[in-house]
Structure 1
Amino acid sequence: MNDSILIFLCVLLGAAVIVVPFTARLGLGSVIGYLLAGVALGPQGFGVMSNPEEILKYSEFGVVLLLFLIGLELHPKRLWEMRNAIFGMGSMQIGLSTLLVGGGLLLLGWSWPQALIAGLGVSMSSTAIAMQVIAEKGLKNHPSGRNGFAVLLFQDLAFIPILLVVSFLGVKTETVGSPSVWMQIAQAIFAIIAIVLAVRFLSYPFFRWIAGAHVRELSTAFSLLIVLGIAYVMEHVGLSMALGTFIAGVILADSEYRHEVEANIEPFKGLLLGLFFLAVGMTIKLDLILQNPWEIMFYLVALLALKMLALVMTGYIFQIDRRQIPLFAILLSQGGEFAFVLFGQAVQQKALDVERSAMLNGVVTLSMLTTPLIMLAYNKFMAGRNQDDKPEADKIESEGRQVIVAGFGRMGQIVTRLLNVNNISSTVIDHNPEQIERVRKFGFKAYYGDATQLAILEAAGISNARLLIVTIDDKDTTNLLVEEVRRAYPKLKILARARDRIHAYELMDRGIEDFERETFGAAVSMGEKALVIMGLSKFAAHRVGLKFKVYDHKNLENLYRYHENEKEFISQSREATAALERLFAQDMVTLQEPANDESWG
């Protein structure tokens, strides 16, 4: 092997090993360390690497592996549940960012095609930067992290249509043999379908065959082959490599090989992602910044301010908790790696001049550098304020209680009172400190804390508990909690509150068999009273209510198999309703007979 290659690798790894721990200890995170090391090693620094674009090209596999691993943790049903956030918030964010940034550039005298291209380019965020910050700050299950991921995913989906917009804005330079725009779209659709089918129907038999050989490195090799093969196909048809591997990860999320694949890929992801940040640092053109420092700083501040404004507006439009909106905006405030490709394409199409492309690339790169710094400032000055100065979680004393109640609103209080009068004590956890203080005055043993955090539940004694009762009123939080607990404590009995019939099916998807729809019992009770007012005896009305409860619950379970097929679900629901009407019509004679109502009086 060439000595220069070994020296280069040693310098690269050495710089990362020295700088990254230093910035991490200062609280700046690993991303800043990698970027600064890249600046030092790049052409504008010590000149160890004169062509950082080559490293950037290959190090993008770190982002590819990152999206693949994210896909492995995201089941298809969970992805479907996120569709409103992905397509709604994602499209709104890109639209508002493009409008604000493009409009600002128009006011500065840019032509409308160049302003539109710049607006579209900077509307894209860096998946690598944002997801790394989300991981380091433990925001994966945080509302800001989940919403940020949804927007990033839509940006991946929107990249090809945005490239097509750029091709229409530029001077046509296509050769006779180049594919048309519609052919490119057809190729992209065919590639995605082929990937889905191949991963779903071909990879499983291969995994079984390889497992039979009992050679661990073969499993690692096949996992990498899947990722690299899909990345090649996606790049060949002009799509995002990361998007393709993300789709593959989602498909494999339900397989029995998921954890093995994850363990095989994880080490490569970390190294290549670090290399990607190093390469981004190397591409920072210090000479351009030093030549036009005020202009670059103006555009950088304007980009961050306008994009964060667009994200804040998106958060308010989609009714994100106002306390989470600043964090959501910071996570996605930077420009992304897609901008480099987009501006390069615009230059080739003669829709953007070289000077402005270089300036925009510099601004986008610097914006990547600022995200961890803004995040640090947020954590220091704003995080506590945006949590409404909530106290730290209480120190929980489980005292051997075998029941844990998560959520102490109206439903949780009634359940707990019923347990107490039967001499069954429970450990109660709620995230509302005012609510905790209020119920303590009435003698309840309740603690403040976030029940979605396993550390809180473990402190409450979940490892020795017989039952977890989830009465939280937010269905997304409930779903997240039961997923985490089911994964960590698969044998624990869980009784959950369902907001409605749809939420009941979501809980069933997560393996929850025991749930109670929050308004169902009260609605049936009200219906019984209505029947009495309309002339039925109290006994008959109560009997009707009981029969209706039994039939409806059985009907809910029978229709579960159809709940993802809307057409079949509606058809089966109509048949079930007709059957219920026939059942009660046959029983009506019995119900109308006089009954002794004294015990119901």
Structure 2
Amino acid sequence: MAAEEAPPFFAESIVFLAATVVAVPIAKRLGLGSVVGYLAAGAVIGPHGLKLLGSGEEVLDVAELGVVLLLFVIGLELEAKKLWSMKRDIFGLGTAQVLMTGITLFAFTRLLGLAHSTALVAGFGLALSSTAFALQILQERGQLSSPYGQRAFGILLLQDISIVPLLAMVAILAPGEGPSTYSEIAREISIVLGAVAAVIIAGRYLVSPIFLLLAASRAREVMLTAALLVALGSAGIMHFAGLSMALGAFLAGVLMAESSFRHTLEADIEPFRSLLMGLFFVAVGMSLDIHLVADKWPLVAVGVVAVMTIKGIFLWALARATGSPNSDALRIAVTLPQGGEFAFVLFTAAVGNSILDYETANLLIAIVILTMLFTPVACLGLDTLAARVKARGVENPSIETFEEAAPTVLVIGFGRFGMVVAQILTSEGLEITAIDNRPDRIDYARKQGYKVYYGDATRADVLAAAGAGKATLVAMCVENDKVMGKAIDLIREDFPGAKIFCRATDRAHALDLTKRGVDFQVRETFESSVFFGRAALEVLGTPVDRIDQIEEDVRRRDEERLAVQLEEGMFAGADRLHKVTPRKFGKASREKASAD
């Protein structure tokens, strides 16, 4: 019996997965990062390589969803206040970079003989860096939250915004096209403003109540579906208005950054983002016309060197002029010198409007892809230079700087116990992140002014999204012993650098925590009972020094009993219990205490 026909894209999926499984580990082994592996895999299996897959443009339509989800996740990490604090980097540094680099590259392409309108599109298209590529590099290096990473992100965000006026420029430069009427311009502006308002209103007032309702159902798959709906729905609204889908998803992420479900959303979307981002870079690699590069290699080589050099110089100079130390300016310069995915959009639009011919557009796309390939090499070169300088013992702040790291705490469980712990930590000005899996607690804590997020502590991806990898200390304040045990095992395995402090619910739990090797554990009932007993003795007239002796003796006996129980079992060590002893002070002491 003949086998049935395979499902659509089945063979293509196998080719894609096989190519990435081979190429990505090799690239990472060479220190070039996973992105280079994806690009190389796409170039090899694409229509200009082994021809195992068809056109990269067909794959790119689906793969661009990876960029959308990436920007949504990035938005989740940026609250509106933090984004507003970056306004100088976004609108100042970012605008200056696009304008100065675009004008310079326009002049350069004019010298190469391109027509005025063609050179204008080419220059500003090449001035845009790759948001997906640069953010992937920053995330892999764990430097997205660093000062230079935040400034680089500000530049990338402005570039994403600038695609709108650049596409309008293409329409204006198109031969035979007259300028739009004022009514058409007003209509376009109203659509854009309406789309932005719709995303803001939905993100601010509708999404959180819906997620509270879904969280109460405890259906993880529904939460995942809702997370994807928020990201893709906001992207679709912006796309309808003619804006970048990635920008729409980013805006939705920023609006959800203050939501209680921020870390769970990030953890749920991360697997889809990673897979689609890999597919995106493979599709970009498939677009590289290797035969065209071989035929026009001198022109392509000049273009790659010119783009990376001009962009790198402007990035370094502008970063230095706006306050970055030399080390950060250098890192920005080697992270953002490549062309970007929006250049493909711009060049395609220019071909459709008869501004660029097909061959010129392919040459420019080849230059963009090759600058992507060489960017990790530039980053690796700077790292190697910094390592050599450090090995020689040379103090060179122009290459290497060290940042002060403030301790952070992850509080898991925000009931009465966790809330008191949070009060003490925040009173010292320490930064805390708190997660709980009960929507009612989260809602109550938020009303009290605490930022608590919805999250399951038994999921490693949720712990990672909540910052367990960066936390100096994890405070386990949950009541459920089994949940705490699973969370401790995950933290020990995936985040070994964090100290673990635990709330023990009873003696048996305390013994279990001791066996697990936590850094600190306290029985809430024992400590409250000791405090209760002290207060009772004070009222009954016992002198303070005698109370101190009693407490010291009780604690010593309790520790000895715990040690015996660890060796012999729960019911051992009864002889260490405190026995009844006669009072060692008489009537005079009682009369003095009564008088006091």
- Give yes or no for TM over 0.5: yes
Aligned residue number for residue 304 of structure 1:
308
Paired with 2:186 and 2:294, the residues of 1 have a C-alpha distance of 44
Aligned residue among 430, 446, 452 for 2:405: 452
CA contact (8 A) 1:173 1:349 kept: no
Aligned residue number for residue 146 of structure 1:
150
Paired with 2:316 and 2:32, the residues of 1 have a C-alpha distance of 24
Q: Does 1:59 align with 2:12?
A: no
Amino acid at match of 1:21: P
TM-score of the pair, normalised by structure 1: 0.65
Aligned residue among 316, 319, 330 for 2:320: 316
CA contact (8 A) 1:35 1:369 kept: yes
Aligned residue number for residue 524 of structure 1:
none
Q: Deviations over 1:414-441 (max 9, x none)?
A: xxxxxxxxxxxxxxxxx99xxxxxxxxx
466 and 339 in structure 1: CA distance in 2 versus 1, 3 angstrom threshold: closer
Amino acid at match of 1:340: F
Tell me how many residue pairs correspond in the alignment: 421
Q: Deviations over 1:217-243 (max 9, x none)?
A: 000001111112122222222211111
Amino acid at match of 1:254: E
Q: Does 1:44 align with 2:48?
A: yes
359 and 25 in structure 1: CA distance in 2 versus 1, 3 angstrom threshold: same
- Which has the larger Rg? 2
CA contact (8 A) 1:16 1:33 kept: yes
Paired with 1:375 and 1:449, the residues of 2 have a C-alpha distance of 18
Residue 2 of structure 1 aligns to a residue whose secondary structure is coil
Amino acid at match of 1:452: A
TM-score of the pair, normalised by structure 2: 0.65
Query: By how many angstroms is 1:286 displaced?
Result: 0.5
Aligned residue number for residue 22 of structure 1:
26
Aligned residue among 12, 34, 38 for 2:16: 12
3 and 214 in structure 1: CA distance in 2 versus 1, 3 angstrom threshold: closer
Aligned residue number for residue 360 of structure 2:
356
Structure 2, unmatched stretches of 5+, are: 409-421, 431-465, 476-596
Paired with 1:148 and 1:92, the residues of 2 have a C-alpha distance of 13
Q: Deviations over 1:1-39 (max 9, x none)?
A: 735632221121111112111211221110111111111
CA contact (8 A) 1:100 1:310 kept: no
119 and 468 in structure 1: CA distance in 2 versus 1, 3 angstrom threshold: farther
Query: By how many angstroms is 1:144 displaced?
Result: 1.8
Q: Deviations over 1:418-474 (max 9, x none)?
A: xxxxxxxxxxxxx99xxxxxxxxxxxxxxx97432759xxxxxxx9x9899899xxx
1:119-158 aligned at under 5 Å gives the runs 119-158=123-162
Paired with 1:17 and 1:484, the residues of 2 have a C-alpha distance of 28
Q: CA RMSD in A?
A: 3.4
Paired with 2:467 and 2:37, the residues of 1 have a C-alpha distance of 32
CA contact (8 A) 1:41 1:47 kept: yes
Query: By how many angstroms is 1:110 displaced?
Result: 2.4
Amino acid at match of 1:57: D
Aligned residue number for residue 563 of structure 1:
none
Aligned residue number for residue 515 of structure 1:
none
Identity %: 36
30 and 368 in structure 1: CA distance in 2 versus 1, 3 angstrom threshold: same
Paired with 1:73 and 1:87, the residues of 2 have a C-alpha distance of 20
CA contact (8 A) 1:323 1:386 kept: no
Amino acid at match of 2:194: F
Aligned residue among 232, 251, 254 for 1:250: 254
Residue 202 of structure 1 aligns to a residue whose secondary structure is helix
Paired with 1:214 and 1:469, the residues of 2 have a C-alpha distance of 35
Query: By how many angstroms is 1:151 displaced?
Result: 0.3
Q: Point out the more displaced range, 182-191 or 331-340.
A: 182-191
Residue 160 of structure 1 aligns to a residue whose secondary structure is helix
Q: Deviations over 1:354-395 (max 9, x none)?
A: 322221111111111111121112211246659996789xxx
Aligned residue among 179, 184, 200 for 1:196: 200
Amino acid at match of 2:244: S
Q: Does 1:216 align with 2:169?
A: no
Residue 138 of structure 1 aligns to a residue whose secondary structure is coil
CA contact (8 A) 1:172 1:349 kept: no
171 and 186 in structure 1: CA distance in 2 versus 1, 3 angstrom threshold: farther
1:209-358 aligned at under 5 Å gives the runs 209-358=213-362
Paired with 1:155 and 1:324, the residues of 2 have a C-alpha distance of 20
Structure 1, unmatched stretches of 5+, are: 393-430, 433-447, 456-462, 472-482, 492-601
Paired with 2:143 and 2:31, the residues of 1 have a C-alpha distance of 16
Aligned residue number for residue 534 of structure 2:
none
Query: By how many angstroms is 1:95 displaced?
Result: 0.9
Aligned residue number for residue 384 of structure 2:
380
Amino acid at match of 2:89: A
Q: Deviations over 1:58-88 (max 9, x none)?
A: 1011111111011101111111111111111
